[in-house]
Amino acid sequence: MPLKSLNQFHDFRNLLIRGRNLWLRLRRGVTAPTDASISLSAQFAAGKRGHITLGDQTLVAFHTYFYTRDPLTGETRPIRVGSRCFIGGGSVIGPGVTIGDECIVAAGAVVLDDVPDRAIAAGNPARIIRREIEVGPYGRLKGADDNSRRMYTD
């Protein structure tokens, strides 16, 4: 029987996402909506349940690491990531950090301080390199589609 469309697996995919989010909440202390996209290689070290919160339409890329325990004081401080954010691959999010809505954290960034809404953070330690950006779902920059079309038509 030929495969008509991958849409026939949509319900199965949603079931798997709900199962993984339940596992993240119960075993790793992560609260994530069903429309958040989390890489399987992302690691979460929450000291308590609910100490890591991800917003709607947020993408967490590969090999990212979230930890809530402060190594100096030993206390756990919650992490909050807003909606429509992109957390780049290999980045580290430290304890007590709040990342605002519609933000981009660059690949390899080490975020130890809060990131305001609609900003791009990069570096080690991360600092704000751009403010007042416009992003779509999953932290995709608004002009990204135009750049893709231009690349393939030239």
Task: Domain count for the chain, please give it.
Answer: 1
* Segments forming the whole domain that contains residue 139: 6-153
Q: Is residue 72 included in any domain, yes or no? A: yes
Q: How confident is the model at residue 80 (pLDDT cuts 50, 70, 90)?
A: very high
CATH of the domain at 96: 2.160.10.10
From the CB of residue 133, how many other CB atoms can be counted at a distance below 10 Å?
15
Q: What is the pLDDT of residues 30-47, one digit of tens each?
A: 998 888 889 888 999 988
Q: Is residue 66 part of a domain?
A: yes
Asked if residue 49 belongs to a domain, the reply is yes
Spatial distance between the Cα atoms of 118 and 120, rounded to a whole number of angstroms: 7
What is residue 126's DSSP assignment? Answer: T
Beta bridge partners of 105: 87, 121
- Identify whether 76 is part of a domain: yes
* Average pLDDT of span 84-113: 96
Q: What does pTM read for this prediction?
A: 0.83
Within a domain: 11: yes
Residue 26 φ then ψ, to 5°: -80, -40
Instruction: Indicate whether 1 belongs to any domain.
Output: no
Is residue 10 a contact partner of residue 31, using CB atoms and an 8 Å limit? no
